[in-house]
Amino acid sequence: MSHWVGPRVLAALVLALCLGLTYGAWRNAHDASEQQVQADFDFRVRELVGNIVVRMQTYIQVLHGVQGLYASSQDVTRSEFHAYLAVQQVDRHFPGIHGVGYLPLLPGAGLARHEASVRAEGYPGYAVRPPGQRAWHAPITYLEPLSESNLLALGYDIWSEPVRRAALEQARDTGQAAMTGKIQLVQDGGSAQAHGFLIVLPVYDNGLPRASVAQRRAALRAWVFAPFRMVDLMAGVGGEGARQLDLEIYDGVKQAEAALMYDSLPDMQAAAGSDSMVSQQAVSVAGHAWTLRVRAMPGFDGELLARPRLVAWTGLLASIVLALAAWRPGCWRRAAPAPRRRWRVRAS
Q: Looking at this protein, which amino acid is placed at residue 323? A: A
Residue 166 has a pLDDT of 97
* Paired residues of 196 in beta bridges: 183, 229
The candidate with the shortest Cα–Cα distance to 290, out of 282, 278, 298, is: 282
- Residues 221-246 have a mean pLDDT of 82
The residue ranking higher by pLDDT, 239 or 208, is 208
* Paired residues of 227 in beta bridges: 198
The Cα–Cα gap between 67 and 113 comes to 25
Residue 348 has a pLDDT of 42
Helix axes 2-71, 78-88, angle to 10 degrees: 150
- Chain CA centroid to CA 72, Å: 36
- Residues 70-78 have a mean pLDDT of 88
Residue 72's pLDDT band, with cuts at 50, 70 and 90, is: confident
Residue 313 has a pLDDT of 65
Q: Would you mind telling me the total number of residues written for the chain in this entry?
A: 348
DSSP letters, 61-88, are HHHHHHHHHHHT-S---HHHHHHHHHHH
DSSP letters, 221-238, are EEEEEEEEEHHHHHTTTT
Residue 343 backbone class (left: φ over 0; alpha: ψ -120 to 50; beta: rest): beta
Residue 56's pLDDT band, with cuts at 50, 70 and 90, is: very high
- Residues 296-302 have a mean pLDDT of 69
* Paired residues of 280 in beta bridges: 293
Residue 332 has a pLDDT of 47
Largest Cα separation within the chain, whole Å, is 153
The candidate with the shortest Cα–Cα distance to 181, out of 272, 98, 84, 258, is: 258
| Exposure string for 116-126, b = 16+ CB within 10 A, e = fewer | eebeeeebeeb
Note the pLDDT tens digit of each residue in 86-134: 888 887 778 778 899 999 999 999 999 999 999 999 999 999 999 988 9
The residue ranking higher by pLDDT, 225 or 96, is 225
The Cα–Cα gap between 330 and 322 comes to 13
The Cα–Cα gap between 33 and 277 comes to 14
- Residues 214-225 have a mean pLDDT of 96
Residue 146 has a pLDDT of 85
Q: How many H helices and E strands in the chain?
A: 10, 12
Write the CB contacts of 176 (distance below 8 Å, at least 6 apart in sequence). Answer: 201, 286, 287
Q: What is the percent of the chain where pLDDT is above 70?
A: 71
Note the pLDDT tens digit of each residue in 242-281: 667 889 999 999 889 899 999 888 665 555 556 678 899 9
Note the pLDDT tens digit of each residue in 126-157: 999 999 889 999 999 999 998 888 898 999 99
Residue 95 has a pLDDT of 76
Residue 19's pLDDT band, with cuts at 50, 70 and 90, is: low
Q: Is the pLDDT of residue 2 over 50?
A: no
| Exposure string for 97-106, b = 16+ CB within 10 A, e = fewer | bbbbbbbbbb
Residue 92 has a pLDDT of 77
The Cα–Cα gap between 222 and 168 comes to 10
The Cα–Cα gap between 187 and 146 comes to 11
The Cα–Cα gap between 151 and 129 comes to 13
Residue 197 has a pLDDT of 95
Residue 23 has a pLDDT of 63
Cis before residue 298, ω within 30 degrees of 0?
no
Write the CB contacts of 142 (distance below 8 Å, at least 6 apart in sequence). Answer: 78, 81, 82, 101, 102
| Segments of 43-170 assigned E as strands | 100-104, 106-107, 136-137, 142-144
The Cα–Cα gap between 206 and 130 comes to 31
The answer to whether 180 and 209 have CB atoms below 8 angstroms apart is no
- Residues 23-34 have a mean pLDDT of 63
Residue 281 has a pLDDT of 92
